[in-house]
Amino acid sequence: MRAHCQGRKGWSPLTWQILEGKNRIPITLIEASEQVDSGVIYLQRRLNLRGDDLVDELKAKQSQATVSLCKYFVRSYPKILSKARQQKGRTTCYKRRQKKDTQINASKSLKDVLTLMRVADNYCYPLSFNINKSR
């Protein structure tokens, strides 16, 4: 099993939803299946973010929610299996994040780039910008 954001599939759905301006983000425990992120849903809960949470806080909240879902699943097994439901509706498949996705447009205001700054990770997704032909 793997936890992900239901209806939002692919790479880094939490990050992409934050970049879309969302602060209520579903975390879903699904069954592993052949097609990525397409298994039946067992459990779901929502993360309620403040809107100023930074990447380490976001990862901690997502991790706590995932562990909580997994513990509940184990405690409720095997009865929980009867609660499984198929995924329905449209889905969004997010692409893998690239270095260009963490590049700040230097001509934008600080307010316009704050959300991107919230999800920056100095090791995997460091922020950068170009100015005067320098990066």
**CATH number of residue 124's parent domain:** 3.40.50.12230
Is 86 a domain residue? yes
59's tokens:
């990862």
Quick one: how far is CA 60 from the chain centroid? 12
How many domains does the chain divide into?
1
Q: Could you read off the pLDDT of 45-73 as tens digits, one per residue?
A: 999 999 999 999 999 999 999 999 999 99
Mean pLDDT value of segment 1-22: 76
Range of the domain at 103: 2-129
Residue 135 lies in a domain: no
Residue with the larger pLDDT of the pair 62 and 35: 62
Task: Flag whether 11 is in a domain.
Answer: yes
Q: What percent of the chain has pLDDT over 90?
A: 68
- Please tell me the pTM assigned to this model: 0.84
- Identify the pLDDT of residue 7: 62
Q: Is the pLDDT of residue 99 over 90?
A: no
Q: Provide the pLDDT for residue 100.
A: 86
Encoded tokens for 10: 């692919």
In a domain, 134, yes or no: no
Q: Which of 7, 6, 14, 2 is closest to 97 using CA atoms?
A: 14
The better pLDDT of the pair 81, 89 is held by: 81
The encoded tokens of residue 132 equal: 């005067």
Task: Calculate the average pLDDT of the chain.
Answer: 90
